[in-house]
Structure 1
Amino acid sequence: MTKPCVLVIDDEAVMCETLKAILETEDYDVLTTGDARDGLNVVNKEPVNLIISDVRLPGMSGIKFLSAIKENFPSIPVMMISAFGDMKSAVDAMKRGAFDYLAKPFQPEELLVTVKKALDYENLMVENLMLRNEIGSRYNLSDIIGESDVMRQLKDTVARVAPTDATVFIEGECGVGKELVAHSLHYHSDRIGQPFIEVNCAAFAESLLESELFGHEKGAFTGADQRTSGKLEIADGGTLYLDEIGDMSLSVQAKVLRGIQEKVFFRVGGIEAVHTDVRIIAATNKNLKEEIVRGNFREDLYFRLNVINIKIPPLRERDGDIPLLAKTFLNQAKRKFPKHNDIELSPAIITRLDQYQWPGNVREVQNLMERVVILGNLDEIDYLVQGAASPIDHASLSHLPLKDAVEAFKRSQIIEALKQSKWRLNKAAVRLGISRHALRYQMETLGIDTND
């Protein structure tokens, strides 16, 4: 393991040697110099993890040196040292970003404890930067797969809107990639180093959603044994992504509206106003204009959210994108499940995929490619396309009560999966996306036996 490197800058040679001797007792690599400009050259050439600099130096002062480091090497912590009682310099150094300040004379133990804290901080900063780069690359605009005109337009809109703080409203069917667009907006904004917090509004009952968003005070309701911060508070400085906002109740909508307008809210059971600075990105697969007419959604909240509107087209409207998506997801699946990495998509298969309507959109393509690789069988594609064509005549179900129609449809799908799997329950269960136990239960419930 590489030893941490500490650069010491002090115009007193004795002080440099003293600090070097103390630091080497903890097995640190120590570089020394008496000049700030020389120190900048060292940092440019050597992998320095921590800098300890005197405030008063000949030529470039320690304070100016600190400013230069913070501008060019912000992840390197800088500790400042100076004569006892020079509080003005201490305050100035801390304002300019010094990690800590030690007044001479100091004890070796005091120095070593502060150095360890500074190096721990530097490790954290490096890890954070690596994580940000990894996440940023994951949500790069190039990861929004598609070269059709509508997708080029969408990526151009995301690129132009992301750097702003504008509220964004994303519309699109299930599976089109609303969450990916929301992440891309955040990770290409100035808020990239701050939290991205997601709340699925459809996943919570009304009372629970209010607490999830705004937090609650101790004793606000049964079981609230301590104050809890809500997602609006946790997302402070970052982005709050409200998925499925069309499922939010009217009473919670009113409170969200106030939070967006005034950037202030109250925890459940609280009287203290909590201020927050968040960018709001909302998404839905519902037509909110129709929901407004029905009285299910507030018109004022809709207009507050709909500053920038991004409509993600369904896959059936993305001319030419299906082959690109299928090949991309197939390659991803082969890397993820390398057992069957020799599977390829022939031109004939690509044509069949391109002709399918993809009601599940991009997510359905991704799931299909994973299933093909896991099972090592391209027949999955034929099953999907043929199943879409006519496993059951839907018109024949229209005269049935809903319960009977659902049962007839389920029975048809299960029998078709069993036939395609040659009545092997494990394989049929995988095709249907359920467990073998669940398949057996459905077969018993619907009266399906091996003679069907």
Structure 2
Amino acid sequence: MPDRAPPHVVIVDDKLEMAEMLSDGLAEHGYSAFAVATGKQALARVESEPVDALVTDLRMPGMDGIELLTAARRAVPDLPVLVMTAYGGMDTAIESIRRGAYHYLTKPFKLDELVVYLGRALDESRVRREARTLRKSLRDGAAKAGIVARSSAMRAALDVIVRVASSDVPVLLTGPTGSGKGMFARYLHAESGRARGPFVTVNCAALPEPLLESELFGHAKGAFTGATTRRSGLFAEAEGGTMFLDEIGEMAPALQAKLLDVLERRVVRPVGSTKETPIDVRIVTATHRDLRRRVAEGLFREDLLYRLDVVPVNVPPLRDRRDDLPELAAELLAKARARHPTSRVERLSRECLLAMLEYPWPGNVRELAHAVERLVLLGRSSEAHFADAALPHVATRDLPSVHFSGPVLPMRELQQRYARWALAELGGNKTRAAERLGIDVKTLGKYLAEDGGD
């Protein structure tokens, strides 16, 4: 057993000598085991002291094994329970598995069999505890970064971020405008080993090509008109940290080639210079575009996409994370009230929150933030009403319009193409794609595997 405190196991059998024999045997294998003769005694120990596992006989006078199992797991929901039964009690043993027992042992059994299954049960219990701790840490860390993640879609995205944070691989954040890709990039940086280094953001759509090149790579003195001094560039400023290239899909092809060279050789060369400088920068990119479509249209380099798309993370639109909306709205309200302390608005009315849950939010979190700001500024009473948000009228129940063009395709090929498109749109997450398509993962796999022929 490891050097940490030995697992504490309670063993109960109405034949006390049997329980004591098992207890002594487990002690030889590094366990701290305690034998009792009744279900009530076992339950008292479970309720009063830390117990890592329970081993119980099924047929006992008074409180039997099934009753003890139910009561013990009510007191400690994740407690691993192993049951012992004679051959004639198989139906009861199977019932115990239905009620949450980890495994059953048919008497007579060897001590080694108990040791094996007890070890497995404790390992699985430890993994579940660690997973819960990780999820709590994930939620706490995300909350500190201003990210609300109660919905399964957001938790899935954050889980990927946490798993790749410690590495230096490029991460491509996809999702619609206003969904929070910038916050994800900052969270990734904060959780990484580069957290103490700089976090430099560049919006590739905000600057014309010549200026963006100079900003990113720097320039030598006299490289162009107005370049009166040497400039190191933002890649150099991001040394030891993270460079976040937002709206990477808008970058001009010539700059894409230069960025590809940076990714492959880890050096930058300022505009107008012949000298190359090594860099140590993690690159994170984001886009609301379908980059594969832009590759097909000749607007984005395929080799660069492969370099950037090492780990794709899809940031879901607000309409796909309704579970997050109440908490998100409450946080935005608190921030807006802090900016406008004279506002009469103190809270959102129930009508307002229900309307928010129904609204499609085409502008995503950014639109919600602006709507809450208007509520705080325009609200006439302590409770904000949705009408004060002055949002455009959007048909919340209508299906989005779909346009068809091109040749008529066989249904099988159409299913396959649409399934592949949906999978790409959702970042390759088959579970989410199946949910959105209204099918199970197995059926999605069949669609993807079909060749489109008859």
Q: TM-score, normalised by structure 1?
A: 0.54
C-alpha distance in structure 2 between counterparts of 1:375 and 1:319, whole Å: 25
Counterparts in 2 of 1:142 and 1:227: CA distance versus 1, 3 Å: closer
Residue 146 of structure 1: how far off its partner (Å) = 2.8
1:224-239 alignment runs, 5 A limit: 224-239=227-242
1:48-447 alignment runs, 5 A limit: 143-340=146-343, 342-377=345-380, 378-379=384-385, 381=387, 384=390, 387-389=393-395
C-alpha distance in structure 2 between counterparts of 1:317 and 1:175, whole Å: 13
Residues 128-181 of structure 1, C-alpha deviations (whole Å, 9 max, x = no match): xxxxxxxxx997566211311111112222222212211100001010000000
C-alpha distance in structure 2 between counterparts of 1:186 and 1:276, whole Å: 17
| Secondary structure at 1:328 match in 2 | helix
Partner of 1:449: none
Residue 335 of structure 1: how far off its partner (Å) = 2.2
Specify the code of the residue in structure 2 equivalent to 1:291.
Answer: R
Q: CA RMSD in A?
A: 2.2
Specify the code of the residue in structure 1 equivalent to 2:259.
Answer: V
Counterparts in 2 of 1:227 and 1:348: CA distance versus 1, 3 Å: same
Contact 1:352 1:385 in 2 (8 A): no
Contact 1:217 1:269 in 2 (8 A): yes
The percentage of counterpart residues that share the same residue type is 42
C-alpha distance in structure 2 between counterparts of 1:150 and 1:295, whole Å: 32
| Secondary structure at 1:291 match in 2 | helix
Specify the code of the residue in structure 1 equivalent to 2:193.
Answer: D
Residue 247 of structure 1: how far off its partner (Å) = 0.5
Contact 1:210 1:268 in 2 (8 A): yes
Counterparts in 2 of 1:383 and 1:264: CA distance versus 1, 3 Å: closer
Specify the code of the residue in structure 2 equivalent to 1:145.
Answer: V
Partner of 1:55: none
Gaps of at least 5 residues in structure 1 are 1-136, 396-452
C-alpha distance in structure 2 between counterparts of 1:336 and 1:189, whole Å: 31
C-alpha distance in structure 2 between counterparts of 1:243 and 1:383, whole Å: 29
Residues 22-46 of structure 1, C-alpha deviations (whole Å, 9 max, x = no match): xxxxxxxxxxxxxxxxxxxxxxxxx
| Secondary structure at 2:196 match in 1 | coil
| Secondary structure at 1:241 match in 2 | strand
Contact 2:172 2:284 in 1 (8 A): yes
Contact 2:378 2:388 in 1 (8 A): no
Specify the code of the residue in structure 1 equivalent to 2:244.
Answer: Y
Contact 2:217 2:271 in 1 (8 A): yes
| Secondary structure at 1:229 match in 2 | coil
Contact 1:141 1:155 in 2 (8 A): no
Residue 193 of structure 1: how far off its partner (Å) = 1.1
Residue 386 of structure 1: how far off its partner (Å) = 6.3
C-alpha distance in structure 1 between counterparts of 2:253 and 2:215, whole Å: 16
Q: TM-score, normalised by structure 2?
A: 0.54
Residues 384-411 of structure 1, C-alpha deviations (whole Å, 9 max, x = no match): 4563349xxx99xxxxxxxxxxxxxxxx
Contact 2:176 2:317 in 1 (8 A): yes
Residue 381 of structure 1: how far off its partner (Å) = 3.6
C-alpha distance in structure 2 between counterparts of 1:139 and 1:151, whole Å: 10
| Secondary structure at 1:365 match in 2 | helix
Contact 2:204 2:247 in 1 (8 A): yes
C-alpha distance in structure 2 between counterparts of 1:195 and 1:385, whole Å: 38
Contact 1:371 1:380 in 2 (8 A): no
Specify the code of the residue in structure 2 equivalent to 1:293.
Answer: A
C-alpha distance in structure 1 between counterparts of 2:143 and 2:235, whole Å: 25
Residue 336 of structure 1: how far off its partner (Å) = 2.3
C-alpha distance in structure 1 between counterparts of 2:313 and 2:241, whole Å: 20
| Secondary structure at 1:281 match in 2 | strand
C-alpha distance in structure 2 between counterparts of 1:287 and 1:326, whole Å: 29
Residues 195-234 of structure 1, C-alpha deviations (whole Å, 9 max, x = no match): 1111110011111111111000011000001110111111
Counterparts in 2 of 1:199 and 1:142: CA distance versus 1, 3 Å: closer
C-alpha distance in structure 1 between counterparts of 2:141 and 2:292, whole Å: 33
Counterparts in 2 of 1:172 and 1:386: CA distance versus 1, 3 Å: closer
Contact 1:145 1:325 in 2 (8 A): yes
Contact 1:202 1:247 in 2 (8 A): yes
C-alpha distance in structure 1 between counterparts of 2:361 and 2:387, whole Å: 12
Counterparts in 2 of 1:347 and 1:140: CA distance versus 1, 3 Å: closer
C-alpha distance in structure 2 between counterparts of 1:371 and 1:224, whole Å: 44
Contact 2:220 2:229 in 1 (8 A): yes
Aligned length: 256
C-alpha distance in structure 2 between counterparts of 1:339 and 1:274, whole Å: 53
